[in-house]
Amino acid sequence: MQFPLTKEDCCKIASELKNKWQFINCGGALDGKHIRIVPSPHSGAQYHYKNFYSIVLMALVNANYEFIFINVGKTGRYSDGGVLEYTEFYHKLMNVCHVEWILEY
């Protein structure tokens, strides 16, 4: 698992997604999944709106279903979008793999 760190890496992922799946201007497929847990005593932060305790697994894959980013641990009360902005991936996306590079594809 290797997060893209250069323009070439980011462009390769975008190019593969365009050529294989016809997804233009795309840097990967991202999704989150709530994982049920048994909470520690007196914990409420992991309580999910669907009435169970969870932590969130967030993952990004390339065109070949290979993981290029995984984050686990944000509490279940957050949605996918709420989790995203607190991940290392989000900060790398904003500072390393510039969106302009992906928009070339």
Question: What is the distance in angstroms between the CA of the first residue and the CA of the last residue of the chain?
Answer: 23
pLDDT tens-digit map of 36-64:
888 877 766 667 777 888 888 889 999 99
pLDDT tens column, 18-35? 999 999 988 899 998 888
Query: Rounded to whole angstroms, how far apart are CA atoms 48 and 3?
Result: 29
Structure tokens at 58: 């967030």
Q: What is the tens place of the pLDDT at every residue in 65-92?
A: 999 989 887 776 667 677 788 888 787 7
> Could you give the CA distance from residue 87 to residue 79 in angstroms, rounded to a whole number?
13
Nearest to 30 by CA among 80, 98, 103: 80
pLDDT band (50, 70, 90) for residue 93? confident
2, exposed or middle or buried, with CB in 10 Å at 0-12, 13-18, 19+? exposed
